[in-house]
């Protein structure tokens, strides 16, 4: 078996050596990233068997992508040997092998590649990324044919050649997963350009449009504004994005609700934006479809019929908010979240409610007593300790069958 792996490694090494991939290190990193529109990077380690398995596939994908996009400065596939360049791996938060990340115009995009590890899968992903994400409309009626369920950014420009539109196009490529982007030029956009080129944000649900008031030539300012509008404070968790969300490393505060129950979702969003927005660096605010995620509900002793309900998943245990009807009681949901950070949720689940200040007993030794009838007298016995349900969403973390996760023993020959 060792000889078989060694032969595979030798073949992969020489195949990779003849490929059109670019070897990146700390010396040429910034130059490579800034000199191409897209750079697709494979972060690998020679001792990782998954990296070795990917090597010839990535090499072939690189050759094929070069044929599909032969223009200078368009697309490059590159690789980083993380053992030789740990500073580069650390800079981009690589914690498993192989990790494939996409860079656009020198900037790291927020989503890793988690598609099929095949030539067709990788090349197809590159082709999809190179598509123009901006829908152009010649008449305002055309916009009715576009998807309306997604947040939208609409631009009105004099022409495609302006700096303003170039920034808009770059923005669309960066946020196309989060918003739809539309653009009109010339006569069709004239009435919206009374004071120059103009961009608006159109939310879902019939809420009023919001006009961008900053400079369209300042890309960083424009992107900050659009990101705030397009990336919701409360995101939906699915089986498709679950791995990505778990890798952010933040506990989940999840509203489980029926798809048709928009009222509960709106209330949840309102409470979070009003009193918990400052917590977004410490927790992921999520919503989940009760039917899709019935298994976590079962783990909590609930079914979709019990929705809506709120739970915290800490990636160790799950804790349920006592009463959804109290979600808008001032401070109630915040206190629930504070109890997670302080360890109180875990402590009280095991040992019962924390003692009052005058008991003199620490929570760890506090006994939970229950009354039991016994021949007309009240007998007291200690209640058996319980354990909170284990995390379910930790199972969405990167699979050990596809990655070598750092921190574990090396998968060496």
State the pLDDT at residue 264: 95
255 in Cβ contact with 288 (< 8 Å): yes
Q: Retrieve residue 305's tokens.
A: 């019929």
**Which whole-number Å values give the CA distances from 99 to 14, 115, 167, 223, in the listed order?**
21, 11, 29, 26
- Return the minimum-mean-pLDDT range out of 11-15, 43-47, 345-349: 11-15
Domain ranges of the chain: 2-131, 134-230, 235-351
Residue 139's pLDDT band (boundaries 50, 70, 90)?
confident
- CATH superfamily of domain region 235-351: Glutaredoxin (3.40.30.10)
Residue 306's pLDDT band (boundaries 50, 70, 90)?
very high
State the pLDDT at residue 366: 38
Sheet strands (E) in 82-185: 96-97, 99-104, 107-112, 134-136, 152-157, 180-185
Q: What's the average model confidence in pLDDT over 315-332?
A: 92
Topology annotation, domain 2-131:
Glutaredoxin (3.40.30)
324 in Cβ contact with 265 (< 8 Å): no
- 2-131 and 134-230, same CATH topology: yes
List pLDDT tens digits, range 236-293: 999 888 888 888 788 999 999 999 999 999 999 999 999 998 898 889 999 999 999 9
**% of the chain residues with pLDDT over 90:** 55
List pLDDT tens digits, range 55-102: 999 999 999 999 999 888 899 999 999 999 999 999 988 888 999 999
State the pLDDT at residue 144: 65
333 in Cβ contact with 276 (< 8 Å): yes
Q: What's the average model confidence in pLDDT over 142-165?
A: 84
Topology annotation, domain 134-230:
Glutaredoxin (3.40.30)
DSSP label of 366: P
State the pLDDT at residue 403: 80
Q: State yes or no: pLDDT of 147 exceeds 50.
A: yes
What is the chain's mean pLDDT, rounded? 83
């Amino acid at each position: 078996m060792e000889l078989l792996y060694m032969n595979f490694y030798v073949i992969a090494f020489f195949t990779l050596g003849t490929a059109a991939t670019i070897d990146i290190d700390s010396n040429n990193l910034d130059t490579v990233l800034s000199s191409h529109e897209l750079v697709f990077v494979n972060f690998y380690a020679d001792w990782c068997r998954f990296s070795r398995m990917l090597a010839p596939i990535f090499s072939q994908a690189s050759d094929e992508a070069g044929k599909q996009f032969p223009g200078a400065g368009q697309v490059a596939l590159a690789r980083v040997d993380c053992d030789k360049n740990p500073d580069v791996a650390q800079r981009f938060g690589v914690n498993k092998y192989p990790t494939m990340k996409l860079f656009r115009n020198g900037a790291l995009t927020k989503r890793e590649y988690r598609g099929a590890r095949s030539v067709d899968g990788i090349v197809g992903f590159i082709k999809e990324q190179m598509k123009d994400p901006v829908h152009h409309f010649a008449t305002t009626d055309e916009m009715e044919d576009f998807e309306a369920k997604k947040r939208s950014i609409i631009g009105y420009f004099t022409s495609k050649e302006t700096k303003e539109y170039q920034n808009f196009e770059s923005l669309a490529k960066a946020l196309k997963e989060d918003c739809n982007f539309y653009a009109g030029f010339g006569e069709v956009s004239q009435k919206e350009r009374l004071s120059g080129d103009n961009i608006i944000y159109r939310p879902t649900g019939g809420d009023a449009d919001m006009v961008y008031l900053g400079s369209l030539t300042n890309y960083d300012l424009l992107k900050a504004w659009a990101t705030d509008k397009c990336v919701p404070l409360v995101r939906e968790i699915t089986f498709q994005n679950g791995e990505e969300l778990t890798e952010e490393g933040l506990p989940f505060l999840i509203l489980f609700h029926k798809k048709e129950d928009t009222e509960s979702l709106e209330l949840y969003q309102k409470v979070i934006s009003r009193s918990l927005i400052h917590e977004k660096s410490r927790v992921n605010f999520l919503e989940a479809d009760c039917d899709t995620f019935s298994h976590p509900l079962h783990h909590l002793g609930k079914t979709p019929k019990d929705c809506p309900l709120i739970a915290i998943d800490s990636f160790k245990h799950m804790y349920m908010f006592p009463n959804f009807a109290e979600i808008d009681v001032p401070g109630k949901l915040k206190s629930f979240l504070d109890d997670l950070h302080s360890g109180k949720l875990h402590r009280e689940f095991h040992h019962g409610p924390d003692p009052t200040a005058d008991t003199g007993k620490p929570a760890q030794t506090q006994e939970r007593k229950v009354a039991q009838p016994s021949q007309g007298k009240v007998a007291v016995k200690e209640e058996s300790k319980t354990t909170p349900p284990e995390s379910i969403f930790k199972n969405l973390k990167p699979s050990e069958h596809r990655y070598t996760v750092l921190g574990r023993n090396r998968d060496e020959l």
